[in-house]
Structure 1
């Protein structure tokens, strides 16, 4: 029951923040410059981040997709969400091929190139290891090891600062978990 209350509070907070972000021309000036009232905003999401955002047979789905589209209806904008490779999505926004990104984590490097709204969702990251490996608990335990990361993802950005952690870009999460399982 406590979990349900916490979820409801989190969703209410998320909706409030997302509404403020989408209705604030100061925070999303470039996005609003490309779409007149009643126009279309193109937002990109990670194609492989269920249940937040993902590609389901060519259709963008997920909690942030539903919320972004609902808010778009309330404020008079058509919201078109596309799901693409996360690294490509970030490049598309930088090139002006889309108006914004759904669910991107802050970092000092990213703050130089993107404008951020207030946080919409709390992101937590985990280190997944083979079931027989009990020695890895912290980032420092990854030194000298190969670590699978999503290209353009926050863990990739964070871990690239550790010279002795070997990063291997994963194709998708399903393939990464299969590789981890097989050793």
Structure 2
């Protein structure tokens, strides 16, 4: 069984708006390494639709991008992508698959079938999966910014505090800190 690793960009005040992070070669190289280490991506429908509206064009070369960003796009294109959605049934982006029905069962089956692990990149879906105790690790990029607005991580709350163990903390040259936590027993 593979691990489910939640990874996301967030500001010091917890904002997860994708426009607030530092989107440079260094942060994209970080996420490319995570993608290389994982067997699949997992998103909610809203995040998937945001991603499919941009990254396939970068991978095809229709949009100009620096090498690190293009590399991310090409690897993302090839990676299996799973989407939790109760409303959308058609996913035309290469290697995209729907998870429908019981969330716990669907995500657990995905973890069981993906020994290299699954990389989760949706904040709202992470809240639901954390409520179901399905997230094993957290790889967070903390950006040196205060956004002063939302959406924020776990803004809908959890039923109880989640204790984590620090695995590593790595400062990047751009001021971002890559935090790696795993669930405490």
Interval of TM-score (by shorter of Structure 1 and Structure 2): 0.3 to 0.5
TM-score, structure 2 as length reference:
0.35
Higher helix proportion: 1
Larger radius of gyration: 1
TM-score, structure 1 as length reference:
0.36
Higher strand proportion: 2
